A = this chain, B = another copy of it.
Amino acid sequence: MIDLPKLVQRHLAQFEEYIVEESRRAKVDFISDGFAYQISTGGKRLRPALCLATCEVLGGSPRDALPFALASEILHNFLLVHDDIEDGDTVRRDQATLWVRFGVANALNVSDFMIARAYRLILESPLAVHTNLRLATVFSFALQKTVEGQALDINLRGSTEVDLETYHRIVRLKTAYYLALTWVGGAIVAGAADDSLDPLWELGKRLGPAFQIRDDIIDLTDGKGRGGAIGCDIREGKPSIFYSYILDRKPGTEADRTRLVDIFRRPREATSDEDIDWAIDYFRSHGALQFAEEEARRLAVESQRVLDTLPWSEEGRRGFREIIEFIIDRKF
């Protein structure tokens, strides 16, 4: 049996060393400080851990996967920087967002630098030419899909068109590829054949949405690390699973639904705490929370099924199953 938490811990220590080395190497006026700030506020390094652990479980050398792991972490932060500007978010993980701290112009420059560095890490790694090309290709593919999801997400806020199918389309685009990218990258570095990558993407299409739904639930129950506030998604009019459940299943009165859409459309500063409480009650009393829990469970079960189709050794499959169980249990 692999001791996964220990494995992940060891990888993360190695990763943090590598990331410090990288930021030291690339000292650039008016960029490095913002880069370091963004990366330092950067959360739990789940993505690189998944990448490195997958590589190891499949018999590759995690050291070889470090450049890609860092690139995926940089991509994550690149997207967060843009996300925060797009949403006008001033705080993330209880710290000022990059654009608030350094201004929009510098935040954009830092993000452009990030994407260039991420690609260079992949393209200039000492792996085989063919491997680097495959890694850069999946990286670009995942970036494109994520952006397509983001475009739907920000343009469908407060829309009455977001039924459950649309919700799933948005979150699949926004989360699936970008999450699967980490283990697809780890698998490529470990020498996985092209035909073993499809199930990995498919896994992403189950687990990415499962996480997003978990995230939606956390926003309603525990809050997402913004000083304990709950219901931020309601305030921001984000198309959550609860919102699309109501629009799709149409429980309650039409007046209630109209009121809900109205709250989602209102600018965040015009949304009162009373609005939020009302919406949460509305969701709860019509089974939206329970529905969300069931959806998350359904997707987890489906992902186990996809897992069984992986054309890997029994050992590889078992190791990867542990990775998944590890992240499913994890709140983030």
Contacts and interface: CB of A to CB of B under 8 A. Distances in A.
A87 B105 CA distance: 8
A30 B152 contact: yes
**Per DSSP, are chain A's interface residues mostly helix, strand or loop, or mixed?**
helix
Contact of A148 (B28, B85, B86, B143): B28
Contact of A144 (B29, B116, B133, B147): B116
Total identical chains = 2
A82 B112 contact: yes
A284 to B, nearest CB: 31
Contacts of A104: 85-86
A123 B130 CA distance: 11
A75 to B, nearest CB: 10
Contacts of A2: none
A242 interface: no
Interface in A130-151: 130, 132-133, 136-137, 139-141, 143-144, 147-148, 150-151
B132 A119 contact: no
A43 to B, nearest CB: 20
A90 to B, nearest CB: 15
A135 B328 CA distance: 39
Interface string A106-135: 101100110111011001100001101100
Given A85-B105, A109-B150, A133-B136, 12 more contacts: A29-B155, A82-B108, A86-B105, A109-B154, A113-B144, A116-B144, A119-B140, A120-B137, A120-B141, A124-B137, A129-B130, A136-B136
A260 interface: no
| Interface size band for A | 35 or more
A129 B123 contact: no
Nearest to A105: B86
A79 B113 CA distance: 12
Interface of A: 28-31, 79, 82, 85-87, 104-106, 108-109, 112-113, 115-117, 119-120, 123-124, 129-130, 132-133, 136-137, 139-141, 143-144, 147-148, 150-152, 154-155
Given A129-B133, A140-B119, A143-B112, A28 B151 contact: yes
A123 B136 contact: yes
Most chain B Cβ neighbours within 10 Å, of A116, A124, A129, A133: A116
A31 B151 contact: yes
Most chain B Cβ neighbours within 10 Å, of A85, A117, A133: A133
5 contacts: A31-B148, A31-B151, A82-B108, A129-B129, A129-B133
Contacts of A108: 82, 85-86
Given A29-B155, A86-B105, A116 B133 contact: no
Contacts of A79: 112
Nearest to A128: B129
